[in-house]
Amino acid sequence: MICQECKERPATFHFTKVVNGEKTEVHICEHCAQENSELFMFNANTGFSLNNLLTGLLNIEADLHKKKEQKVFNTGDELQCDRCKMTFSQFKQTGRFGCSNCYHTFNIYINPILKRVHGGNTVHTGKIPERIGGDIHIRKQIEGLKNKIHEFIIQEEFEQAAMVRDEIRSLEKKLSSSQEEGS
């Protein structure tokens, strides 16, 4: 694919922009991306960095949750991982966690971002082979639906909760019948 800007070099950057529900695709080369860095978040000195993108998102979220942080952490000390001693400021600079415990420590900041980026999911589900994972898929569906019921009950949407409950019962029957066939 050829760059849409210069129409000379191969396009190496592919962007999809959605504005007011209208989708536009942009395909540009590295040279044009550097020249239009303000449009494409590309810096000639540092290059395009996922870490920079995450850091930018975190700065936005950090501002939104500053009040929440002050209520939760009244000590005035910056939030820090117990295990690796990384602070949230250090994470924002590097865009990488120091250890697996950082995910739990900085949960208040990263959960809203993960929900937005992953369509509401904050837990990694992975992939399961379809041939051998039928029961596992059903169990995961049931687990997800139980979480939905809990949310509906908290929001006092009892009709929705009842529909989800019926769906869980149906899946549980399907699960028990497939287990009986396998025995």
Domain assignment present for residue 127? The answer is no
Write out pLDDT tens, residues 21-42.
788 888 888 888 777 765 555 4
User: Are 60 and 111 members of one domain?
Assistant: yes
Long-range CB contact pairs, 169-172, < 8 A, 24+: 171/138, 171/141, 171/142, 171/145, 172/142
Domain assignment present for residue 128? The answer is no
User: Are 38 and 87 members of one domain?
Assistant: no
Reported confidence tier of residue 46, pLDDT bands at 50, 70, 90: very low
Share of the chain above pLDDT 70, in %: 69
Domain assignment present for residue 36? The answer is yes
11 vs 41 pLDDT, higher one? 11
Reported confidence tier of residue 43, pLDDT bands at 50, 70, 90: very low
Reported confidence tier of residue 44, pLDDT bands at 50, 70, 90: very low
User: Are 54 and 86 members of one domain?
Assistant: yes
Domain assignment present for residue 28? The answer is yes
CA pair distance 66, 148, nearest whole angstrom: 28
User: Are 111 and 58 members of one domain?
Assistant: yes
User: Are 37 and 68 members of one domain?
Assistant: no
User: Are 102 and 81 members of one domain?
Assistant: yes
9 vs 43 pLDDT, higher one? 9
Domain assignment present for residue 126? The answer is no
State residue 72's pLDDT score: 44
Parent domain of 31: 1-48
Domain assignment present for residue 125? The answer is no
State residue 71's pLDDT score: 44
Reported confidence tier of residue 8, pLDDT bands at 50, 70, 90: very high
Domain assignment present for residue 129? The answer is no
Contacts of 80 (CB under 8 A, 6+ apart): 86, 87, 88, 105
Tokens 């019921």, located at residue: 149
Instruction: Please give the angle made by the CA atoms of 39, 44 and 48, to the nearest 5 degrees.
Output: 65
Write out pLDDT tens, residues 53-71.
555 655 555 554 554 444 4
Share of the chain above pLDDT 90, in %: 24
- Domain boundary (12, 32, 48) is at 48
| Number of folded domains that form the chain | 3
Range ranked top by mean pLDDT from 35-44, 132-141, 150-159 = 150-159
Q: Does the model's pTM come out above 0.85? A: no
Domain assignment present for residue 89? The answer is yes
User: Are 104 and 140 members of one domain?
Assistant: no
User: Are 65 and 108 members of one domain?
Assistant: yes
- Domain boundary (67, 83, 117) is at 117
What crossing angle do the helices spanning 50-64 and 107-117 adopt, rounded to 10°?
Answer: 120
